Amino acid sequence: MKILDINKIISGDELHNLLLQKLNPLFQQQKQSDINFTITHNSNIVEISHPEIYEGVLFSIAIEGHELHITRSEHYTDDVNSLTLESILNTLFEELAGEGKVTLILEG
pLDDT of 52 reads 93
Contact status, residue 103 vs residue 7, Cβ threshold 8 Å: yes
Count of structural domains, the chain: 1
Residues of the domain holding 90:
2-107
User: Which CATH number does the domain housing residue 29 bear?
Assistant: 3.30.310
| pLDDT tens by residue, the chain, 108 residues | 999 999 999 999 999 999 999 999 999 999 998 999 999 999 899 999 999 999 999 999 999 999 999 999 988 878 899 999 999 999 999 998 887 789 888 887
pTM higher than the cut 0.85: yes
Contact status, residue 6 vs residue 104, Cβ threshold 8 Å: no
Beta-carbon count within 10 A of 79 CB: 14
